[in-house]
């Protein structure tokens, strides 16, 4: 297994100035990038802090007690986030996901959700408004989140076995409290709930079947995610990647599965349904998903853009640099000027790292200074 390497640089320092086109524009509700991919999904990180220290995301060796988190003054205000979200919706975005760090650590997050819930897409409908959380604060906040206008949640949960789960979150947080949070979210109506499990070979792959057994028939969609080389601090190596095909094979030895069609273009997860006695999908048993960014790239349909908590726009989960939108917001730019900048940024986007990863020399992959997942969300 490859030796773990911890970086000594701060990738947040790598920033690009947002373009300032001479001609402003009124958004027409549809943008395409250089590979003809539309803009549909906006992911907004509302904090760079988290109360877990998962090794694949925020390992203690890097994110220790002296780690220099962003100052509150550096974060986008709720008004600034809402303004940008409104302009993204005018460009064709239909779904907004709040992420972190752990987004429920952001003070008064319910007020931001209330503000975003008043926005509308270009066809006059409310955007899909979701949030990804580690579930640690969900029991306490689920009802307030739903009352504020949040539609559903995705919960990160990497094991059912308490010892494995506490070892992975590295702060001794009990799995029972996350399960209580999921139950509270269901009761509050934050559905359909999705549960994401990052699978690392030799770490938690013995939890695949127990997780499936627990959520099968519950109305909750369990999704298995290949351990990815996001950021530079998790010591990623291919030896720890368990391909989705192998995960599915393990499941099919216990539960019959049948393939399901995608629900929407650009969907990251390949859907498989639990089969009933007749060999066909039984909706009452539910489904599972497989997100295979390492072994089966889905770049060609990627319609997502990511906004960091301090207002930098990233065009790919594996990006090395972001565009500084905060400078536009706080520099007096008009809505028309910011809209033109967003269009210029998206139109030149040609990112497809997952598709070309295997063709890159190993030294180039190791040398890349990609932004951390905890900074721009998953």
Mean per-residue pLDDT for 330-350? 96
SS3 content of the chain, % helix, strand, coil (to 5): 35, 15, 50
φ, ψ of residue 99 to 5 degrees: the values are: -135, -170
Among candidates 224, 162, 222, which has minimal Cα distance to 198? Answer: 224
| 224 domain-assigned | yes
DSSP designation for 270: E
Angle at 16 between CA 11 and CA 20, to 5 degrees: 160
Q: Which of 123, 127, 57, 73 is nearest to 95 (CA)?
A: 127
The reply to whether 367 falls in a domain is yes
Tell me the pLDDT band of 5, cut-offs 50, 70 and 90.
very low
Pseudo-torsion of CA 162, 168, 171, 174, nearest 10°?
A: -20
User: Tokens at residue 67, please?
Assistant: 């780690």
Residue 4 lies in a domain: no
Q: Is the pLDDT of residue 250 over 60?
A: yes
Q: Is residue 153 part of a domain?
A: yes
- Residue 135 sits in which domain range? 11-376
Q: 144, 154, 143, 153: which is closest to 112 by C-alpha?
A: 144
Instruction: Enter the pTM of the model.
Output: 0.90
Report whether pLDDT(47) > 70.
yes
Rounded distance between C-alpha atoms, residue 44 and residue 221, angstroms:
23
Residue 225 near residue 294, CB atoms below 8 Å: no
5 domain-assigned: no
Residue 77 within a domain: yes
Instruction: Report how far residue 144's alpha carbon sits from residue 140's, in angstroms, rounded to the nearest whole number.
Output: 8
pLDDT over threshold 60, residue 131 = yes
Residue 320 has what pLDDT? 83
Q: How confident is the model at residue 358 (pLDDT cuts 50, 70, 90)?
A: low
Q: Is the distance from CB of 264 to CB of 128 less than 8 angstroms?
A: no
Lowest mean pLDDT, pick from 56-70, 132-146, 167-181, 204-218: 56-70
Domain count, the chain: 1
Contact 313, 345 (CB under 8 A): yes
In angstroms, the CA 133 to CA 103 distance is: 7
- Yes or no: say if 211 and 197 are a contact pair by the CB < 8 Å rule: yes
pLDDT at 98 over 70: yes
170 near 55, Cβ under 8 Å?
yes
**What pLDDT shows up at residue 360?**
60
Model confidence pLDDT, tens digit, residues 287-308: 999 998 887 777 888 999 999 9
Residue 351 lies in a domain: yes
Residue 129: inside a domain: yes
Range with lowest mean pLDDT among 111-125, 201-215, 276-290, 307-321 = 307-321
User: Residue 39 and residue 105: Cα distance in Å, rounded?
Assistant: 28
Q: Assign residue 103 the CATH number of its domain.
A: 3.20.20.70
Q: Cis omega before residue 192 (within 30°)?
A: yes
Nearest to 115 by CA among 137, 132, 93, 98: 98
Mark the binding-site residues, compressed into ranges: 43, 50, 54, 56-57, 97, 101, 132, 156, 194, 228, 299, 302, 304-306, 316
Is the pLDDT assigned to residue 285 strictly greater than 80? yes
**Which residue positions form the known binding site for S-adenosyl-L-methionine?**
56, 101, 156, 228
Q: Which residues contact 259 (CB under 8 A, 6 or more apart)?
A: 270, 271, 272, 273
Q: Please determine, for residue 211, whether its predicted confidence score (pLDDT) is greater than 70.
A: yes
For the purposes of burial, counting CB atoms within 10 Å of the CB of 83, is it exposed (0-12), middle (13-18) or buried (19 or more)? Answer: middle
User: Residue 159: pLDDT above 50?
Assistant: yes
For residue 33, what are its two tokens? 């990038």
Q: Which residues are annotated as a binding site for [4Fe-4S] cluster?
A: 50, 54, 57, 299, 302, 316
- Known binding-site positions for GTP: 43, 97, 132, 194, 304-306
């Amino acid at each position: 297994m490859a030796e773990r390497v911890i970086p000594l640089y701060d990738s947040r320092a790598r920033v690009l100035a947002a373009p300032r086109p001479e001609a402003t524009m009124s958004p027409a509700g549809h943008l395409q990038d250089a590979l003809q991919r539309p803009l549909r999904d906006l992911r907004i990180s509302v904090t760079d802090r988290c109360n877990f220290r998962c090794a694949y995301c925020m390992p203690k060796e890097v994110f220790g007690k002296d780690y220099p988190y962003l100052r509150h003054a550096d974060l986008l205000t709720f008004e600034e986030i809402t303004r940008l979200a409104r302009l993204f919706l005018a460009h064709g975005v239909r779904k907004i996901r709040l992420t972190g760090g752990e987004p429920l650590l952001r003070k008064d997050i319910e007020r931001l959700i209330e503000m975003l819930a008043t926005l509308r897409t270009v066809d006059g409908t409310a955007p899909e408004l979701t949030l990804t959380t580690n579930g640690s604060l969900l029991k306490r906040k689920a009802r307030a989140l739903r009352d504020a206008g949040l539609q559903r949640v995705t919960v990160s949960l990497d094991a059912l076995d308490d010892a494995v789960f506490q070892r992975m979150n590295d702060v001794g947080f009990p799995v029972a409290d996350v399960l209580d949070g999921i139950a509270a979210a269901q009761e509050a109506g934050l559905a359909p709930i999705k549960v994401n499990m990052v699978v690392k070979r030799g770490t938690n792959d013995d939890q695949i079947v127990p997780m499936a057994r627990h959520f099968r028939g519950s109305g909750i969609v369990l999704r298995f995610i290949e351990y990815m080389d996001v950021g530079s601090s998790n010591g990623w190596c291919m030896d720890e990647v368990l391909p989705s095909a192998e995960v599915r094979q393990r499941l099919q030895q216990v539960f019959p599965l049948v393939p399901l069609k995608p629900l929407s273009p650009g969907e990251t997860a390949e859907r498989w349904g639990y089969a009933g006695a007749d060999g066909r999908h039984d909706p009452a048993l539910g489904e599972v998903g497989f997100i295979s960014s390492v072994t089966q790239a889905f770049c060609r349909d990627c319609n997502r853009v990511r906004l960091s908590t301090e207002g930098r726009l990233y065009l790919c989960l594996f990006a090395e640099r972001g565009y500084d939108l905060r400078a536009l917001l706080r520099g007096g730019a008009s809505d028309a000027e910011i809209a033109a900048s967003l269009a210029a940024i998206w139109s030149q986007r040609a990112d497809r790292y997952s598709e070309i990863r295997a063709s890159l020399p190993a030294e180039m992959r190791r040398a890349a200074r990609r932004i951390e997942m905890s900074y721009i969300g998953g």
